[in-house]
Amino acid sequence: MAQPHYQLETPDRMEYTFLSVTAGSILFKVQAANDAHIALTAGPNETGPLYEIFIGGWGNSKSAIRKNKQKPEVAIVDTPGILSASEPRGFWMRWIHGDLDVGKEGQAQPFLSYKDPEPFGIGHYGICTGWGAAGTWYIEDGDSSKRVDTEDKLEYNWHHVQQGCLNVEVCSPHNAHLALTCGPCDSDPMYEVLLGGWENMASVIRYRREKPDKVRANTPALLSQGEFRRFCVAWKNGHVRVTDATGNVIMEWIDPSPFGISHFGVRTAWGASGKWRVCCAERPDFYARPSAPPAQMAAGALPGWAVDGAKGCATWVDCSHGVVPPNAVPAGFDNGEQLYVGRARHAGDIIPGKVQPSHQMCYVPWGGVEQAKTEYQVLCNCEPVWLPATDGRIPPGALPAGETEGVEPLFVGRATHNGVMCVGKVQETHAVCYIPYGGKELAFNEYEVLCAQ
């Protein structure tokens, strides 16, 4: 359950060491006298759009955010003594849809924030120190694992959470409770997930401590005093879902009036004590319900795509960091560089997009932004045709290549913008083809759709 962890030394020079992001946040500690710098970029370099976060700059007196190396800074605050040359200081950083927040370890509220009206996809981050300072960094992608023992009393043990999904392991005979709140206390509103209640016979989701319970499921012998049992608790826009170790849904509920969640608490009660292991995970692992690969679907579900035919046997191949396998399907060009058909997960969706080898990325359109992904799949082993379409129409023989969190199918489309033939997604209910380009998600009413010959 441990998250990716790095310990790095940065010399006193303004050269970033780049790492790929695995989630929309990082936790880190840094020991430096001043000027701890973090860059957020699309690729592993400073050539494209970037945010720079300066912690303890100006002689360890201020912190700031700068975009594209341009002054003035887009955000700057006084932070006297925020760094230390003698001890590591902890911080967190998160970003989503152009909202960038930086905070101190153990504090839920950020001390530095910026909302970018023209955000771009972030695939890498870089670190460095400068202006007379060397540094030692301890970095975890996503939230750190938490190991907690709970006594037999109705008191929650509270922790900060930055993402919408928790992997939970608990060893308890019954009555393992997890709460989701907007602060580190019993607050209103609050969701409670009660596992193995009623002598380990049933589980419920409760809201505001009120009865009747929103959801109740019969779960005999769900928990164990002798071994850890694993669960996932995930939430997005009021949709709360609890799954077991195999991914089967135990309970789920949609709150019509959702609230922001910043903390979780765990406890055991009614004669039970417990041991917990909790860590944050990426929500798409639990909200995406991927379409079956074409070779595993009935031939009738994919008109024109023959299961055994050389021209219609589409295969999605796992790749990362710009790798393009043999027999990849070409789809367009950008300044003379060949682009390929790819797809990647984002925010619970599986989204078709473009693989650009020189950027070491697959770019997918989502939420108005060009999202950069270092891990993706490439379409291979087929010879499709591109058929013209308009206003969300899907021609016969189009390949289902992804789906939204609500299980609406997405198809591979492409359109030309500024002389670039760019690959993206066709979403029928939106009546457009979306392409990722220049950090944005652009919509086109006229496009081409990838179809079987």
Residue 342's pLDDT band (cuts 50, 70, 90): very high
386 or 238, which is more confident? 386
- Position 378 pLDDT exceeds 50: yes
pLDDT tens by residue, 343-352: 999 888 889 9
Predicted local confidence at residue 309, as pLDDT: 34
- Position 292 pLDDT exceeds 50: no
Predicted local confidence at residue 301, as pLDDT: 31
Predicted local confidence at residue 263, as pLDDT: 79
Q: Tell me what the mean pLDDT of segment 46-61 comes to.
A: 92
Q: Tell me what the mean pLDDT of segment 195-218 comes to.
A: 92
- Position 135 pLDDT exceeds 60: yes
65 or 307, which is more confident? 65
- Position 4 pLDDT exceeds 60: no
Residue 162's pLDDT band (cuts 50, 70, 90): low
Give the least confident one: 116-120, 123-127, 184-188, 311-315.
311-315
Q: Which of 282, 281, 31, 6 is nearest to 126 (CA)?
A: 6
- Position 189 pLDDT exceeds 50: yes
Predicted local confidence at residue 302, as pLDDT: 35
Classify strands 36-41 and 146-150 as parallel, antiparallel or unpaired: unpaired
- Position 1 pLDDT exceeds 50: no
Sequence-distant (6+) residues with CB within 8 A of 396 are 303, 304, 451
- Position 116 pLDDT exceeds 80: yes
Residue 178 CA from chain centroid, whole number: 22
- Position 311 pLDDT exceeds 50: no
- Position 317 pLDDT exceeds 70: yes
- Position 98 pLDDT exceeds 70: yes
Give the least confident one: 142-146, 264-268, 321-325, 379-383.
142-146
Q: Is 0.85 topped by the overall pTM?
A: no
Predicted local confidence at residue 305, as pLDDT: 45
Q: CA quadruple 364, 368, 372, 373: dihedral positive or negative?
A: negative
Question: 262: how many CB neighbours lie within 10 A of its CB?
Answer: 15
Predicted local confidence at residue 320, as pLDDT: 85
Residue 13's pLDDT band (cuts 50, 70, 90): low
The SS3 assignment for 284 reads: helix
Give the least confident one: 73-82, 136-145, 176-185, 258-267.
136-145
Predicted local confidence at residue 11, as pLDDT: 64
Predicted local confidence at residue 406, as pLDDT: 56
pLDDT tens by residue, 386-418: 999 998 889 888 888 888 875 688 999 999 999
Distances (CA, A) of 179 to 273, 298, 331: 17, 43, 47
**DSSP per-residue letters across 125-167:** EEEEE-SS--EEEEEEESPPPEEEEE-BSS--EEEE--SSEEE
Q: How far apart are the C-alpha atoms of 80 and 93, rounded to whole Å?
A: 19
Task: Write b or e for each residue in 326-350: b if 16 or more Cβ atoms lie within 10 A of its Cβ, otherwise e.
Answer: eebbebbebeeeebbbbbbbbbbbb
Predicted local confidence at residue 64, as pLDDT: 96
- Position 200 pLDDT exceeds 60: yes
Predicted local confidence at residue 14, as pLDDT: 67
pLDDT tens by residue, 208-230: 888 889 999 999 999 999 899 99
Q: How far apart are the C-alpha atoms of 50 and 69, rounded to whole Å?
A: 8
Predicted local confidence at residue 358, as pLDDT: 87
Of all residues in the chain, the percent with pLDDT exceeding 70 is: 84
Please report the domains of the chain, with CATH numbers, ordered by start residue: 6-139 (2.60.120.200), 146-280 (2.60.120.200), 315-452 (no CATH)
Question: 308: how many CB neighbours lie within 10 A of its CB?
Answer: 8
- Position 140 pLDDT exceeds 70: no
